Amino acid sequence: MTNTETKKLPVLLTIHSEQHYEDTEPDSIELMTEGVLELTREGMVLSYQESELTGLEGTTTAFEIRGPQVILSRTGNVNSQMVFEEGKQHTSIYETPFGELAIDIQTSRLRHSLSERGGLMDLRYSISVDHAVTGRNAFKIRVRRKPELRENI
């Protein structure tokens, strides 16, 4: 692969997301959707279109896997970027309808077995605003290669 070459593979994603806030029951969503796994020189990018179910319709979500880091970017109706690195804290900007908010992301677990064949990503983190933890979140994403259609001859 040259510096500009990438390989884009159609994939099926099963995304399980949990959000835990103090004094409330955990909020859990499981979503199945189509996406793209892009193999790059630096690593991989897993992207998909959000839906009405997640409340982020009109937004593209991308997980960029680069060595020990995963960068989650959302663009469209919602714009944000969060950096995850196990055992480390990163400050990120989260755009809201009322303005930008600086949040601290503390990653407690980041594991993945992603390759061009698919795999699993397990991400657990807490979010702090003004140094007070506001919630704990988890993503489990199962990636499967989408079967390629073959025409009958």
Instruction: Give the pair of three-digit tokens for residue 11.
Output: 């994939």
Contact 57, 51 (CB under 8 A): yes
**Rg, Å, the chain Cα set:** 16
Beta partners for residue 59, in sequence order: 76
**What mean pLDDT comes out for the span 90-96?**
83
Q: What is the DSSP string of 97-113?
A: TTEEEEEEEEEEEEEE-
pLDDT, tens digit (0-9, with 9 covering 90-100), for 49-91: 988 877 788 899 999 999 899 999 999 887 889 999 999 999 9
- pTM listed for this prediction: 0.85
Distance CA 23, CA 42 (A): 41
